[in-house]
Amino acid sequence: MIAQIIFALAFIAAAIFFTIQVKKIIRNINIGKDVNRSDKPKERWLTMAKIAMGQTKMVRRPLAGIMHLFVYVGFIIINLEVLEIIIDGLFGTHRIFAFLGGFYDFLIGSFEVLAFLVLLGVVVFIARRTIVNLKRFSGPEMIGWPKADAMYILVIEVLLMTAFLTMNAADYKLQLAGYGHYIVAGSFPISQYIANILPNNIEALVAIERACWWFHILGILAFLNYLPYSKHFHIILAFPNTWYSNLNAKGRFTNMDSVTNEVKAMLDPSFTPPPVDAISRFGAKDVQDLNWVQLMNAYTCTECGRCTDVCPANQTGKLLSPRKIMMDTRDRLEEVGKNTDKHGKGYDDGKTLLDDYITREEIWACTTCNACTEACPINIDPLAIIVDLRRYAVMEESNVAGSVNAMFSNVENNGAPWKYSPADRFNWANKD
């Protein structure tokens, strides 16, 4: 009974703490401006099914994609077994679903195979980070916590899967011994080999089984509460992120209605602009100026580096890293959230996303080629944030890179980005 009470308290505490952290993240995301992404629901459900569930963009890099699929599918399905552990923990039962008979044997056997595949995938991922040292896992933004976070989660997964298999191995030997409440139930295609190295002493086996049971379930509860602090929160946010992703053509940019109406009025004096809400700022200087989907993108970023790996600006030595743009946005958003907790809503700490986190050099290094958005395995759009930061620099500050300023002057004077007079544009076609 004491064990049941301890388990119930741990479970309730974990659920409450996780709920509090998720509510803070939702609040932070809602700091962003409203944007309508409810159109084309059928296409959105299909996009989520293909990209978030089907992992179609992950497998473009076969080794990483297949290993990630092992970890993703294995971890999700294995945690269905957590339901049984929770019921057993609350009511003091043992393998309560054993009444399912042959189907239960199939389930436990499948869980074990998937646990082995998870371990295989994680070992490959650890090797890629520590032995192969893939370039895209490095960079100035990938030092300190981001680098450690990636390893923490891999080690946690190894420990959880090892505890699960060891628990089953001890349970299997206790079943064979016919000891106590360890009824014959389940199939153990992987853990039966681990059982061979476990002691034959009954008391030792019970201690191992109980220790691994507690470690496994408490580890999962701890992992659940680690997620909101980690890049691995994408396990949850990948689904809404892909559902709300931008379905427009990649080269299509958003226009501000107020600016569009002003241009129309200049071209057509008879045009009467419709009423629009007051514009507080053109573009984005801080996270409050971005829309909520962009802020959700920041929390969903997996820091995998595929975006930076294909970025032509980054490849040529420019300062820009699309991954850093997303990480900086998330860090700034977290800072704003902490300020809200400490000082109340609307507190101004004197910092902004632009300049304090993301430099002008970074945003003007972007070629707007959309390679980053195309490469992202969960449809994150770093370019949208870069363009909004540029829009602020141009429309609010008239502060642009020298080459861009020259282009603007040419457009104003010559009607084209080049310095040539409109009368000379067709000179190239003149024959000698």
Same-domain check for residues 116 and 216? yes
Q: For each of the chain's 432 residues, which pLDDT tens digit applies? A: 788 899 999 999 999 999 999 999 999 999 999 998 989 999 999 999 999 988 899 888 888 888 888 888 887 787 778 888 888 888 888 888 888 889 989 988 998 999 899 999 999 999 998 898 888 888 889 988 898 998 999 999 999 999 999 999 999 999 988 888 888 888 899 999 999 999 989 999 999 999 999 999 999 999 989 999 998 899 899 999 999 999 988 878 888 777 888 888 888 888 887 776 666 788 899 999 999 999 999 999 999 999 999 999 999 999 999 999 999 999 999 999 999 999 988 888 999 999 999 999 999 999 999 999 999 999 999 999 999 999 999 888 888 877 788 888 888 888 888 888 888 878 778 765
CA 371 centroid distance within chain: 18
The alpha helices in 227-352, defined as continuous H runs, are 234-243, 257-267, 292-300, 306-310, 312-315, 322-343
* Domain membership of residue 90 as a residue range: 2-30+61-243
Domain end marker among 243, 276, 293 = 243
- Does some domain include residue 44? no
Q: Could you tell me if 301 and 380 are in contact, meaning their C-beta atoms sit under 8 angstroms apart?
A: yes
Same-domain check for residues 235 and 268? no
pLDDT value of residue 206: 92
Q: Could you tell me if 139 and 323 are in contact, meaning their C-beta atoms sit under 8 angstroms apart?
A: yes
Same-domain check for residues 212 and 293? no
Same-domain check for residues 261 and 196? no
Same-domain check for residues 269 and 228? no
Q: Could you tell me if 410 and 419 are in contact, meaning their C-beta atoms sit under 8 angstroms apart?
A: yes
SS3 281: coil
- Does some domain include residue 427? no
Domain harbouring 320, CATH code: 1.10.1060
- Does some domain include residue 41? no
- Does some domain include residue 73? yes
- Does some domain include residue 416? no
Domain end marker among 183, 218, 243 = 243
Residue 214 sits at the vertex; the CA angle it makes with 23 and 16, to the nearest 5 degrees, is 15
3-state helix, strand, coil in the chain (%, to 5): 70, 0, 30
The two structure tokens encoding residue 131:
């032995």
- Does some domain include residue 250? no
Same-domain check for residues 210 and 274? no
Same-domain check for residues 378 and 343? yes
Same-domain check for residues 221 and 281? no
Number of structural domains (the chain) is 2
Same-domain check for residues 154 and 289? no
Q: CA–CA separation, 407 vs 419, rounded Å? A: 8
Whole-Å CA distances, 198 to 95, 149, 194, 208, 216: 21, 32, 7, 9, 18
Same-domain check for residues 167 and 280? no
Same-domain check for residues 20 and 148? yes
Q: Could you tell me if 113 and 147 are in contact, meaning their C-beta atoms sit under 8 angstroms apart?
A: no
pLDDT value of residue 68: 87
Domain end marker among 213, 243, 273 = 243
Q: CA–CA separation, 303 vs 322, rounded Å? A: 10
Which residue type does 175 have? Q
Q: Could you tell me if 385 and 290 are in contact, meaning their C-beta atoms sit under 8 angstroms apart?
A: yes
Residue 109 sits at the vertex; the CA angle it makes with 106 and 111, to the nearest 5 degrees, is 110
pLDDT value of residue 432: 58
Q: CA–CA separation, 359 vs 318, rounded Å? A: 12
pLDDT value of residue 10: 92
- Does some domain include residue 432? no
- Does some domain include residue 412? no
Same-domain check for residues 237 and 278? no
